[in-house]
Amino acid sequence: MKVAALQMTSSMSCADNLQQAVDLLHEAAQLGAQLAVLPEYFCLMGQRDTDKLLIQEPFGAGPIQDRMAQAAQSLGLWIVAGSLPLSLTLEGHSPQVYNSSLAFNPQGQCVARYDKMHLFQFKTDTEHYDERRSLQEGPEPTLFEMQDASGECWRIGMSICYDLRFPELYRFYAQAGADLLLVPSAFTRTTGQAHWETLLKARAIENMAYVVAPAQSGAHDNGRHTHGHTMLIDPWGVVLAQKETGVGVVMAEFSRAVLTQQRGQLPALRHRRL
């Protein structure tokens, strides 16, 4: 199965970001991708944490969700919209939102929703982030299943960015039979340089699963710098493809035969004692 991870440098214009995302999805489809995953905050990197409240949508309705559903249907592509702000209620505007990742099938239907469970906090002399100002923690993990072009079924565990630091989430997915782990992200340049690749490889190796990690990259309009280095990693911890900086599509082919072989050679998942 060909999988695409899309790297972006999202701006403070939701309309511009949506157009860039759709352009990248078209490119991924033309390259033969069956699954394409966008990064965290693909739709907006605002000036303030609270800017995302201005573009929030109730689940199931809104221009961002509609654009992703239309793209999935027109391209015949599985799409995971890395993250977008969803209102806490179906009535619409709320003082906090969920940072939500949505999976759309090739018919344009939303088949899975994951609300980010772990909210980022980081403080140095020059940087300060606290997602709790505008976000509500998600309640639970989410998996979904997709069939590739050959009819092979893949079980996929969803996560977002800071979740990567909490291995118990990914072990839950492994115990539930996940073959792929998704980590759409907007890692800061500081934390990304220190930990991004190490954590991604660890999650792949310890759970014997493929990892798809699309990222935000570079200098954004709001002054924030993100790490980039979008990666696709196999269950042995090998980076199959990556893009260090800039905007673009990163492609790799995932193999059920390779996954089965590697899990058979090193059956660590069956040796758990806790």
Residues annotated as catalytic (active site), given as ranges: 40, 116, 161
For 236-240, the CB contacts below 8 A with 24+ separation are 236/204, 236/205, 236/262, 237/201, 237/202, 237/204, 237/205, 239/197, 239/201
Instruction: Give the burial string for 79-91 (b: 16+ CB within 10 Å, else e).
Output: bbbbbbbbbbeee
Element (DSSP H or E) covering residue 12 = none
What lies within 8 Å, CB to CB, of 236 at 6+ separation is 204, 205, 262
Closest CA to 128 of 191, 84, 85: 191
For 253-260, the CB contacts below 8 A with 24+ separation are 253/1, 253/2, 253/3, 254/1, 254/2, 254/3, 254/154, 254/180, 254/210, 255/1, 256/152, 256/154, 256/179, 258/234, 259/179, 259/208, 259/209, 259/210, 259/235
